[in-house]
Amino acid sequence: MAATIRTAGLRRLQKAMRNMETAVEPQQVKPILAYALMAIKDEAYRLLRVLTKRTENLPAGWEHIEDALVVQEGKSDRVASAFCKVFRRAAPQAIWIEFGHRMVGHKPNKKDTGKFVTANPFFRPAIDIKRAEVRKRIKEGLAGLLESAAAKAQAEGDN
């Protein structure tokens, strides 16, 4: 479950950072991106709580989807990135809830019961609902960052 949100200013800034043509570092942009993606995380969490119930008995090694839903900054030191996702290993049931699934019997036969569990999408609608807000947060964050970088450069030039 992933989607890319494109912002024109961010694309130009990423290119300038790759070419080392700017005083802005990717480490300065990553928190802005992570903050913007928190809107998607919060909305996905809200939708998940509305659509599903929290179970008390998960298989060993599984986490609740709410606990596996995270926003993290990317690891690259050349390109600023961040992501919002549900860790598949921690909560493999998330994709079943998002897209629905067929019900299959228990081992050893695993017979198809013919029943289907309907989808309760929470992540894709959260992206659709919050896309404009994420773009707005990124634009505002980048404007503030560039403004402070310009002020810093001007102060250093005055000395």
Among 1-15, 29-43, 125-139, where is mean pLDDT lowest?
A: 1-15
Is 103 among the domain residues? Answer: no
pTM score = 0.77
Is position 99 within any domain? no
- Whether 83 shows a pLDDT value over 70: the answer reads yes
Is there a contact between 34 and 73 (Cβ–Cβ < 8 Å)? yes
pLDDT over threshold 90, residue 111: no
- In total, how many domains does the chain have? 1
- With respect to residue 51, please indicate whether it lies within any of the assigned structural domains: yes
Residue type, 67: D
**Whole-angstrom distance, CA of residue 19 vs CA of residue 8:** 17
* Residue span of the structural domain in which 79 resides: 8-90+120-158
- CA-to-CA separations, 128 to 5, 122, 144, 145, in angstroms, rounded: 10, 10, 26, 26
Q: Residue 45: inside a domain, yes or no?
A: yes
Cα distance between residue 80 and residue 59, in whole Å:
36
Residue 73 lies in a domain: yes
Inter-residue contact 112 to 67 (CB < 8 Å): no
Q: Write the pLDDT tens digit of every residue in 59-70.
A: 888 888 888 899
Whether 98 is in a domain gets the answer: no
Is 153 within the bounds of a domain? yes
pLDDT at 144: 87
pLDDT level of residue 37 (50, 70, 90 thresholds): very high
Any idea which residue has 């130009």 for tokens?
12
Identify whether 38 is part of a domain: yes
pLDDT of residue 1: 59
- The residue that leads in pLDDT, 69 or 57, is 69
Identify whether the C-beta of residue 133 lies closer than 8 Å to the C-beta of residue 39: yes
pLDDT given at position 38: 95
